A = this chain, B = another copy of it.
């Protein structure tokens, strides 16, 4: 088991983090938040979601946010799109890449997206065609890979079968998501190894929630299997962290700190990233589960020693 030399981090705080709390944050603050994030060296930021404003009112300002941000060269500004209409809106507003969510189980897909998986696959095919025409890359965020609240455990064969369909429909990047926080390191390795065995050239990423405190251990397991990209949110935001059953993403700065200590390149400036954690805590007006916001980063002497591999 060895870590990749470099890892690609996608910050999903402005979308996944804020989608249940975005109503508390003004459009102007969201723009400032995205701009702060893109200034950290993060290679990709999920800016917003072009869902129907009636379904997710907190994302009703998607166009204004996407148009209001200051573009930095080298940063990919991604948006979530649920369908062709959302894709048209996202392309029109200037999103660089599109993230399409689809589920590994029929019942979750039905409840979350109101479609059968095959309908979602066909919808993705249309989205992909549209995006391709506009020169945009499409990612699939595959929900409930490690377990479904309605169907329970999800066999790996079923995950592979759904990936097979989305790859056929044009997906070049798939993010395996533990939507309800039931993954564990062994399961992560099993799924990652199976997917890589079937599609060695597919760009694979991980999307963990820290619902039960295993997010960073699951990330470690996945990275050590050779996955070199993951989603995270600064502060670990996502729903109210202290409400029963609420689930934030893994915390970007905590994960980046781990990678820094392990000598893995992310291109991210850690202190600036921690500042973004403080920023979102202030914008939300309540505490966040991430730890570096509270403890601060590891002193640079430890990082230097870790890089010398003297075991400090």
B213 & A251 in contact (Cβ 8 Å cutoff): yes
Closest to A183 in B: B261
A310 and B159 CA atoms in complex are apart in Å by 12
Interface string of A295-312 (1 = CB under 8 A from B): 111110110111001111
Copies in the assembly, this chain: 2
B302 & A245 in contact (Cβ 8 Å cutoff): no
* Residue A97 CB within 8 A of the other chain: no
Complex contacts, A295 vs chain B, CB 8 Å = 181, 211-212, 244-247
Interface size class of A (residues with CB under 8 A): 35 or more
Complex contacts, A298 vs chain B, CB 8 Å = 147, 181-182, 212
* Residue A53 CB within 8 A of the other chain: no
Distance in Å: Cβ of A195 to nearest Cβ of chain B: 11
A312-B152, A312-B154 in contact; A212/B291 too (CB < 8 A)?
A: yes
* Residue A294 CB within 8 A of the other chain: yes
Chain A residues 106-139 with CB under 8 Å of chain B are none
B294 & A244 in contact (Cβ 8 Å cutoff): yes
Complex contacts, A289 vs chain B, CB 8 Å = 289
A312 & B185 in contact (Cβ 8 Å cutoff): no
B211 & A311 in contact (Cβ 8 Å cutoff): no
* Residue A153 CB within 8 A of the other chain: yes
6 further contact pairs, Cβ within 8 A, besides A147-B305, A152-B301, A211-B291: A3-B186, A155-B310, A182-B298, A211-B295, A213-B291, A216-B216
**Which residues of A approach B to under 8 Å, CB–CB?**
1, 3, 146-147, 152-156, 181-182, 184-187, 190-191, 194, 210-214, 216-217, 219-221, 241-247, 251, 254, 257-258, 261-263, 287, 289-292, 294-299, 301-302, 304-306, 309-312
